[in-house]
Amino acid sequence: MKLHELKNVEGAIHRKKRVGCGEGGGHGKTSGRGGKGQTARSGSSIRPGFEGGQMPLYRKLPHRGFNQASFRVEIPVVNVGDFSRLGAEVTEVNAAVLAAAGIIRGRVTTVKVLGEGEITRAVKVTAAKFTESAKAKIEAAGGQAIVG
């Protein structure tokens, strides 16, 4: 199969809708815009939530409370098992080393270490947070878990 042999699926191509070309076409007279008024005019648009001058519902309802979502800081997580993806010569692990290895994104400075997976060699890990299981596994392998 070549590019010039490709064909569209049946029903994928439609005729362009020709409005205002007489009643016989099905889109004559008002050209699918209904009756008269603001929505029938060209160039007019009504913003979302506008109710024709009536007090909109979103202004009638009380707005209470506070949401932390916009201030939340996402801390990327790394499992203990991911340290095996680093080379055998790596003895110190931090955010910069993980970013260079492609385990986390480049500009991230804080990391949380989780205890999923196994670690077999002693490494000195510097991270913002550790789970209890991650700390125990790192120290059992002869390494250090430094909060920093």
- Give the global pTM: 0.56
Q: Is 126 part of any domain? A: yes
Q: Is 12 part of any domain? A: no
Q: Is 21 part of any domain? A: no
Question: Per residue in 84-120, pLDDT tens?
Answer: 888 888 899 999 999 999 999 888 889 999 999 999 8
Residue carrying structure tokens 């890990």: 125
Detail the DSSP E strand segments found in 22-143: 77-79, 92-93, 112-114, 124-127, 129-130
Question: Per residue in 46-70, pLDDT tens?
Answer: 999 999 999 999 999 998 888 889 8
Q: Is 10 part of any domain? A: no
Q: Is 103 part of any domain? A: yes
Q: Is 106 part of any domain? A: yes
Q: Is 41 part of any domain? A: no
For 91, the domain range is 77-147
Counting the structural domains of the chain, the total is: 1
Read off the CATH number of the domain in which 105 is found: 3.100.10.10
Detail the DSSP E strand segments found in 55-147: 77-79, 92-93, 112-114, 124-127, 129-130, 144-147
Contacts of 57 (CB under 8 A, 6+ apart): 49, 51
Dist CA 54 CA 63 (whole Å): 19
